[in-house]
Amino acid sequence: MEEQKHITNEEPVISIKGLYKSFDELEILKDISLEVFRGENMVVLGRSGAGKSVLIKILVGLITPDKGIVKVFGQQVNKLSPKDLNTLRLRMGFSFQSSALYDSMNVRQNLEFPLTMNVKNLSRQEINNKVEEVLHAVGLIEKINEMPSDLSGGQRKRIGIARTLILNPEIMLYDEPTSGLDPTTSQEINTLINEVQKKYNTTSIIITHDLTCAKKTGDRIAMLSNGKFVKIGNFEEVFNPDKYQEDDKQIKSFFNYNFIQ
């Protein structure tokens, strides 16, 4: 069993209680509850279409829940004014599955853009220092003047994470961080997620269907199936074949059809 990273058990940074969300007749999330604590990597694991991305969009106020309470830093997200919601979002970093880099900008310009848009009166030296800091953090300082089209898929993922880090977010939201990557590059991204957690003391939610990513990065895992969290715990607690109950069939099935390194 891998050593579990230390978690500070204080008031949760993210609190979800009795959350429901449906689109027309399709129920996506059905009475889910979850607490995420400061400094914790929480993996939300499930098949494609399980509702993982909907949960993230509710957390950042892009989708309104039908029922339930979602609080981030003690603030109920769907009750915030547009100004307060924008302030909250600046404390949260979203690493998109596609990396979401601007093709017309080089790496430096991609990183400078969110910084200069959101932090006023920075000197050129301060901007340069921050860009170089986050590029060093993701191990790609040598790519500072390259275009996104010249980068590999893994490098684009890293630059996307660097662009998220440049605003010093307290919460990191990773959407399928290893999707489309080969096993070696996926492992590099898993390592980077853990390095970001330690260096920046981030609280993270990692959305994935990749069991290896879940095992390597998650302090805890919330297994989402059929719109509900069917089990929450560390990897060994969620995927312990000796303790599967009758209602854990979906967990066993998910495990059996995935490869664990």
The mean pLDDT value for 67-83 works out to 96
Domain boundaries, the chain: 1-91+174-261, 101-168
Please state the rounded mean pLDDT for residues 19-33.
Answer: 94
- What per-residue confidence (pLDDT) applies to 244? 53
- Do residues 28 and 51 lie in contact, with contact meaning Cβ atoms separated by under 8 Å? yes
Q: For the chain, what is the mean pLDDT?
A: 89
Query: Buried b / exposed e across 146-184, counting CB within 10 Å, b at 16+?
Result: ebbeebeebbbbbbbbbbbbbbebbbbbbbbbbbebeee
Contact (Cβ atoms closer than 8 angstroms) between residue 183 and residue 216:
no
Q: Residue 50's pLDDT band (boundaries 50, 70, 90)?
A: confident
Greatest mean pLDDT among 87-96, 136-145, 251-260 = 136-145
Lowest-pLDDT range of 55-59, 78-82, 93-97, 101-105:
93-97
Q: How far apart are CA 79 and CA 96, in angstroms?
A: 25
Nearest to 97 by CA among 131, 65, 130, 57: 57
Q: Using one digit for the tens of pLDDT, what is the confidence trace for 211-237?
A: 999 999 999 999 998 899 989 999 988
37-156-216 Cα angle (round to 5): 40
CATH 3.40.50.300 fits 1-91+174-261, yes or no: yes
Q: Judge whether residue 242 has pLDDT over 80.
A: no
Q: For residue 135, what are its two tokens?
A: 């590029």
How does residue 253 score in pLDDT terms, banded at 50, 70 and 90?
Answer: low
